[in-house]
Chain A
Amino acid sequence: MTPFRDLSLWRQFGAVVLCALLAMALVPSFGSDFVIAFGFQFVTWIGLALSWSLFSGNSGYASFGHGVFFGIGVYATAAVLRHTDAPFAVALVVAGLVAAALALVVGIAVFSSPRFAGDLFGMITLAMAFIVVAVVSNLAFLDGGTGVFVRELAADTWIGESTGHQFVVGTAIAAATAGVAIATSTTRWGAALRSIRDDEAVAESLGVPTYRYKVLTFAASAGLAGLAGAPQAVFLGYVEVGAVFTLNIPLLVIMMTILGGITRWWGPLIGAASVVLVREALLDIGSPELSQIILGLALVVVIALMPHGISGAIPRRRPTATGTTTGTTTATTATTGGAR
Chain B
Amino acid sequence: MDSVAQRLSAVGAGAALELRGVTRMFGALAALTDVTMTVRPGERRAVLGSNGAGKTTLFNCITGDFSPSSGTIRFFGEDVTHFPPYERIRRGLRRTYQISALFTGLTVQDNVYLACRGVSRGRFSLLRPGQNDALMHAADNLVQAVHLSAVKDQRVAELAHGQQRQLEIALALAGAPRFVLFDEPAAGLSPTERAELIEILTSLPAHIGYIIIEHDMDVALRVVESVTMMHNGRVFKEGVPEEIQSDPEVQELYLGGGHE
* A and B are interacting partners: no
A interface residues (Cβ-Cβ under 8 A, vs B): none
Q: B interface vs A, CB < 8 Å?
A: none
